[in-house]
Amino acid sequence: MLSNGPNWFVCFVFCLFVSCLLTFQRCLAKGDMAEVIAVNAGLALPPTMNGTLPIEEDVGVAPAAVSVPQTSEDYLFVEARHPSTVLQGLNSLRLNNAFCDVTLCCGGQEFPCHRIVLASFSSYFQAMFSTDLIESKQERVAINGVEPQMIGMLVSYAYTSEVYISKANVQALLAAANLLDVMAVREACCRFMERQMDEMNCVGIHCFAEAHSCKVLEKRSMEYILEHFGGVHKQEEFLSLCVDKLTEILASDFLNASKEEMVFEAAMLWLNKCPSRKQSFEKVLEHIRLPLISPYYLHDVIESLDVVKENPGCQKLISEAKDYLLLKDRRGELYCPRARPRRSTATAEVIVTVGGEDDKVVLRSVESFNPVTNQWKNLACLPFAVSKHGLVVSDSTLYLAGGEFPDGSASREMWRYDPCFDSWTEMAPMNVARSELGLVMLDGFVYAVGGWEGRSRLDSVECYNPHTNLWQFTESYKMAVTSPAVVALDGLLYVTGGAVLEDGDGTDLAQVYNPKSGGWTELAPMQIARSGSAACTLKGKIYVIGGWHASTENTDKVECYDPKTNQWTMCAPMKERRYRPGAAVVDGKIYVLGGEEGWDRYHDTIERYCEDTDTWEIVSEMTTSRSWLSCVSLQLRKDIHMGSCNGTPSDS
């Protein structure tokens, strides 16, 4: 992996010895080989010294004895050169084969040395010599599985604190240091490899680091691979990856690929390297985010490949991507992890919050929240302040209809937001003014259900066709209702709860409308009656969240409807009671934003629901406390972040 290059020199300060010097002094005194200056810890300091230790030379060696009484004229002498003198002494003993009590044998080569030195620098040897293992007594110890030259280098390192690391030896040296548990050399080898990393060798370095459990190097090399994927995927090392490592790379959100097509092309290069890989291609294709690929590329290039045609698993992935691309208004229902943009791409999945009111005023503001980065950005404000409105998304176009203006009048207006231009455009108005309406995007049409036109509740339903810019009444709801929770699922329109009676109490009624056959059908009622709840769909189920629980108070209760069984079940309650919060689903998790706790108490918190664990947690905050806002999730270009609103929030 690493080939010839300049020799790199790495030098270590070898402090470990200090701790065992005293032991050595006893041995050495007899042999008269080195002069030992005894450190007398019992000496006291003159009062004037006030505890300051006089150190003759301050080379970075910590004084060993610090707890010195501070009363006499004696002082602590520390010879900074001493450790290296001892080390040099030990090394010359070794080179002269004096006092050597063990010989390491490796690949036919022999390295005489001192047990005590080996044990002091390597826990491997310490364990070997201090137990009842046969080796603890043997004079010759065989070391297997490493290159003899590396044993030589490590032994020499033990006696000199120096070792040359080069591109040629770094792998073998690291392996040997790993075996003998010489951490400092191992770390130095890792740092050396990290410095040498490039597009050609990073994959090899990663696999090597993994094999030798060098966690930091393993992580850094993976980061390098992901970041430089554009170059790395053309290299020989990448093409010889095993399927598991390949999928680990392709699965990462951090893979730096401007377009998903490039990820696919990388997988094709890998596939074509070896015919037997065809069997595993489904496993690879699973991690390519096909829904983010152009439908034309999907059709012309990917679908026509034999390896895809012949494999039902690959076919399924293609059809999932096509559904996602084709059924734009069901994207929220099709929970599709493969549709999540990678971090490096120009788009991010965000929650857009529109209008509503804080504790003082009705708002014009339109903001986007990125749940991954927790960042808020301002989008173009509404042309007017509005609350109690409806908001839906189709592809990435937003439609806002109805609502209540700050003067209390109900709105007929319909506005469209185009993220490309970051601007709002007025479209055809509804037939009737509706505030507290239910608004839903169902298979290409916008439906407005019920609401308040100024004097009374409505049971009428109208439907907007974006292609003709026309509203038309459809079959009325069974009951006049305000603030119902509405969602679309599988081509059907669901309306649940809402305020219905004279006193505005909530209902537990749930009904479904089929636009193909026409007609409303009653479903099992909710477990609790409520109005002003948020609703969303996730993995084929409908969630109704919070709201006002009839005759009692705002609620934190959440229930879930399964159309297959026509049954409602309670989920874990939210952390907070929320009336009229906003809700949106991002990456398979429900986000609930703001809402009213009670009179005049508005939340600024965001809660997230994980359906797998049935748990809520507060994950972030909005820029203001807010209720009656509306939310949708969509994929937005990251560079859209226009200035904040001019003027006061409610200067409509």
Ligand X SMILES: *[C@@H]1O[C@H](CO)[C@@H](O)[C@H](O)[C@H]1NC(C)=O
Q: Which residues bind ligand X (CB under 6 A)?
A: 50, 227, 230, 256
Burial of 332 (0-12, 13-18, 19+ CB in 10 A): buried
Tokens in use for 578?
Answer: 């929320």
CA 564 to chain centre: 33
Q: Given the complex with ligand X, which of 342 and 388 has the nearer CB atom?
A: 342
3-state secondary structure of 60: coil
Q: Given the complex with ligand X, which of 187 and 227 has the nearer CB atom?
A: 227
- CA–CA dist 417, 365 (Å, integer): 13
Distances 532 to 103, 213, 628 between C-alpha atoms, Å: 83, 55, 9
Q: Where are the beta strands (DSSP E) in 22-118?
A: 102-106, 109-113
In sequence order, what DSSP letters do the residues of 192-226 get, joined into one string?
A: HHHHH--TTTHHHHHHHHHHTT-HHHHHHHHHHHH
Phi and psi at residue 190, to the nearest 5°: -60, -45
Q: Minimum distance between the CB of residue 225 and ligand X, rounded to whole angstroms?
A: 11
Q: Minimum distance between the CB of residue 289 and ligand X, rounded to whole angstroms?
A: 17
Q: Minimum distance between the CB of residue 205 and ligand X, rounded to whole angstroms?
A: 17
Q: Minimum distance between the CB of residue 263 and ligand X, rounded to whole angstroms?
A: 12
Q: Given the complex with ligand X, which of 223 and 611 has the nearer CB atom?
A: 223
Q: Measure the CA angle with vertex 551, ends 545 and 553; round to 5°.
A: 50
Q: Minimum distance between the CB of residue 257 and ligand X, rounded to whole angstroms?
A: 8
Q: Given the complex with ligand X, which of 227 and 443 has the nearer CB atom?
A: 227
CA 165, 167, 173, 177 dihedral sign is positive
Q: Minimum distance between the CB of residue 292 and ligand X, rounded to whole angstroms?
A: 16
Q: Given the complex with ligand X, which of 87 and 249 has the nearer CB atom?
A: 249
Q: Given the complex with ligand X, which of 231 and 383 has the nearer CB atom?
A: 231
- CA–CA dist 235, 203 (Å, integer): 9
Comparing every residue's Cβ against ligand X, the nearest one is 230
- CA–CA dist 112, 139 (Å, integer): 9
Looking only at the bridges linking them, the beta strands covering 140-142 and 102-106 are: parallel
Residue with tokens 């036919």: 108
Q: Minimum distance between the CB of residue 281 and ligand X, rounded to whole angstroms?
A: 24
Residue 650 CB coordination number (10 Å): 19
Q: Given the complex with ligand X, which of 31 and 47 has the nearer CB atom?
A: 47
Q: Measure the CA angle with vertex 458, ends 498 and 493; round to 5°.
A: 60
Q: Minimum distance between the CB of residue 243 and ligand X, rounded to whole angstroms?
A: 24
- CA–CA dist 475, 37 (Å, integer): 103
Q: Minimum distance between the CB of residue 256 and ligand X, rounded to whole angstroms?
A: 4
Q: Given the complex with ligand X, which of 227 and 604 has the nearer CB atom?
A: 227
Cβ distance 151 to 176 under 8 Å?
Answer: yes
Query: Of 56, 60, 58, 57, whose CA–CA distance to 13 is shortest?
Result: 60
Q: Minimum distance between the CB of residue 112 and ligand X, rounded to whole angstroms?
A: 51
Q: Minimum distance between the CB of residue 76 and ligand X, rounded to whole angstroms?
A: 17
Q: Which helix (H) or strand (E) is 642 found in, with range?
A: none
Q: Minimum distance between the CB of residue 228 and ligand X, rounded to whole angstroms?
A: 7
Q: Given the complex with ligand X, which of 91 and 252 has the nearer CB atom?
A: 252
- CA–CA dist 13, 33 (Å, integer): 23
Q: Given the complex with ligand X, which of 227 and 505 has the nearer CB atom?
A: 227
How many helices and strands, by DSSP H and E, does the chain display? 17, 33
Q: Minimum distance between the CB of residue 197 and ligand X, rounded to whole angstroms?
A: 13
Q: Given the complex with ligand X, which of 230 and 295 has the nearer CB atom?
A: 230
- CA–CA dist 134, 129 (Å, integer): 9
- CA–CA dist 221, 200 (Å, integer): 12
CA 486 to chain centre: 32
Q: Given the complex with ligand X, which of 231 and 563 has the nearer CB atom?
A: 231
* Sequence-separated (6 or more) residues with CB below 8 Å from residue 454: 409, 410, 433
Cβ distance 412 to 437 under 8 Å?
Answer: no
Q: Minimum distance between the CB of residue 48 and ligand X, rounded to whole angstroms?
A: 7
- CA–CA dist 438, 415 (Å, integer): 16
Q: Minimum distance between the CB of residue 233 and ligand X, rounded to whole angstroms?
A: 10
Single-letter amino acid code for the residue at 132:
D
Q: How many CA atoms lie within 13 A of 629 on its CB side?
A: 39
Q: Which helix (H) or strand (E) is 271 found in, with range?
A: helix 260-272
Q: Given the complex with ligand X, which of 263 and 550 has the nearer CB atom?
A: 263
Distances 47 to 43, 64, 535 between C-alpha atoms, Å: 13, 21, 79
